Structure 1
Amino acid sequence: MRENEIAKEIVDGAYKIHTTLGPGLLESVYETVLAYELERRGLGVVRQQAIPVVYESVRLEEGFRADIIVASKVIIEIKSVEMLAPVHKKQLLTYLRLTNKKLGLLINFGSALIKDGIHRIANGL
């Protein structure tokens, strides 16, 4: 499956979850439920994957943790806030660059309408 096909499944799953549970729960709840939903759809999911960072030729084994990585191709960053800050998109773009992945989805389950809470971030896609 290609990144765009995976993204379609992720968006569909996020919509279903938001419609069922609504906004306002903790990020960890949405992460758990979204991982379950994507696994049900046959997608490989890794949660809280430690990603190493190389700085000045030193490899730091746990530079950051990706909320969810789907099919080893798409990173999902989950938020549950009233309003996203510009730094959230920059954070995901940095994750994509450091992992050499092409697509990420920033999903804010705190949005009143989930369509307003999903942001696609591309890194050379």
Structure 2
Amino acid sequence: MSKLVYPELSYKINGILFKVHNELGQFCNEKQYSDLIEQHFKSLNLYYEREKILPPSFESELKGRNKVDFLIDNKIILELKVKRFLTNEDYYQVKRYLSALNKKLGILVNFRRKFITPKRILNSYGKE
């Protein structure tokens, strides 16, 4: 029997995502969605880091090249997109971030759609 990873926290995050989409609709830019999400995190006293810089993945890689949109409670990576369709590259990006930060759960959401469907992406090698 499988166990849901971080059920309470991910439920809160998804609630915020739906609330933000209901408030702003589908035609804003990523920064506008991020700003409103951040306000909701603050109002719920959720610990988060915005645009957390990932460590370089190879020796000569420039620092600050990769950033996660949000790291919530040092557990869940939240990656926002504002595009017509999500691609495999978007999923691979979240998987890379999960691996780089050694986290178990990422949530990928595309705000451009009429109805959002946050995607849970798991890293079976991640630690709590």
Whether TM exceeds 0.5 here: the answer is yes
- Tell me, in whole angstroms, the C-alpha distance in 2 between the residues paired with 1:52 and 1:60: 9
RMSD between superposed Cα atoms in Å: 1.8
* Structure 2 residue runs without a partner (length 5+): none
Q: CA deviation at 1:63?
A: 4.4
* 1:94 alignment partner in structure 2: 96
Correspondence 1:75 to 2:77? yes
* 1:53 alignment partner in structure 2: 56
Matched position secondary structure for 2:103? coil
Higher relative contact order (CA 8 A, sep 6+): 1
1:42-84 Cα shifts (integer Å, max 9, x gaps): 211111111112425x686434111111111111110111111
- Tell me, in whole angstroms, the C-alpha distance in 2 between the residues paired with 1:60 and 1:27: 24
Say if 1:25 and 1:10 are closer, same or farther in 2 by CA, change over 3 A: same
Structure 1 stretches of 4+ moved >6 Å? none
Q: CA deviation at 1:36?
A: 1.2
* 2:119 alignment partner in structure 1: 119
Structure 2 residue identity aligned to 1:26: N
Structure 2 residue identity aligned to 1:31: S
Percent of aligned pairs with the same residue? 28
Structure 1 residue identity aligned to 2:114: A
The 8 Å contact of residues 38 and 45 in structure 1, kept in 2 or not, is answered as: yes
Structure having the larger proportion of residues in strand: 1
* 2:30 alignment partner in structure 1: 27
Structure 1 residue identity aligned to 2:79: E
Matched position secondary structure for 1:113? coil
- Tell me, in whole angstroms, the C-alpha distance in 1 between the residues paired with 2:94 and 2:43: 25
Matched position secondary structure for 2:54? strand
Aligned residues between the structures: 121
- Tell me, in whole angstroms, the C-alpha distance in 2 between the residues paired with 1:120 and 1:55: 27
Structure having the larger proportion of residues in helix: 1
1:24-56 Cα shifts (integer Å, max 9, x gaps): 100111111111112211211111111112425
**Normalising by structure 1, what TM-score?**
0.88
Matched position secondary structure for 1:84? coil
- Tell me, in whole angstroms, the C-alpha distance in 1 between the residues paired with 2:120 and 2:28: 22
